[in-house]
């Protein structure tokens, strides 16, 4: 699914970006606790993947109770973040989310050339990223990304299945 996002930069320019919507669902004890729709766009010149925000629904016993964590580039001082550069450089650091007071995730490239085995398959040339945020001092998340797939591991959670969108989904 695609979403068109228009926002105003710090310099006052109006920009429109077509973003792909990636939905994540989090379950605890077989109960849905969160649905996040994340907005990503790829720079065709560099291969960089940018993060333009997320729409979050937090559930309690099947009912939406909040939208904590929701942000969108261009609103409330939020800017697009870099979710994954087109060229992975070991030791690189950058902000993935830039939504003051809401989401300020930072990434550091810690490993590369990994092979990942999951229920969805075995993937080569994967990379590892350590995420932190000043909003939760001391909290860390280790994620692994694989070419042509994206996120395949988030701490101990691993990819179970995936579907690669065809040209008709563009």
- pLDDT tens, residue by residue, 3-61: 777 766 667 778 788 899 988 898 999 999 999 999 999 999 999 999 999 999 999 99
CA of residue 34 relative to chain centroid, distance: 15
What span, in angstroms and rounded, lies between the C-alpha atoms of 15 and 52? 12
Domains contained in the chain, number: 1
The confidence band for 116, taking pLDDT boundaries of 50, 70 and 90, is very high
Structural domain for 28, as ranges: 2-169
What span, in angstroms and rounded, lies between the C-alpha atoms of 91 and 8? 31
The confidence band for 167, taking pLDDT boundaries of 50, 70 and 90, is very low
Task: List the beta bridge partners of residue 47.
Answer: none
CA of residue 155 relative to chain centroid, distance: 14
């Amino acid at each position: 699914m695609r979403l068109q996002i228009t926002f105003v930069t710090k310099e006052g320019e109006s920009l429109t970006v077509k973003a792909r919507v990636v939905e994540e669902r989090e379950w605890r004890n077989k109960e849905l606790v969160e649905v996040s729709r994340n907005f990503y766009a790829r720079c065709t010149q560099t291969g960089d993947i940018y993060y333009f925000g997320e729409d979050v629904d937090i559930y309690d016993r099947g009912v939406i109770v909040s939208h904590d964590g929701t942000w969108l580039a261009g609103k409330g001082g939020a800017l697009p973040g870099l979710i994954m550069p087109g060229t992975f450089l070991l030791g690189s650091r950058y902000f993935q989310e830039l939504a003051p007071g809401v989401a300020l995730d930072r990434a550091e490239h810690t490993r590369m050339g990994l092979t990942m085995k999951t229920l969805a398959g075995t993937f080569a040339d994967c990379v590892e990223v350590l995420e932190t945020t000043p909003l939760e001092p001391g909290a860390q998340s280790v994620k692994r990304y694989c070419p042509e797939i994206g996120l395949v591991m988030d701490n101990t959670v691993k990819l179970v299945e995936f579907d690669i969108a065809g040209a008709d989904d563009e």
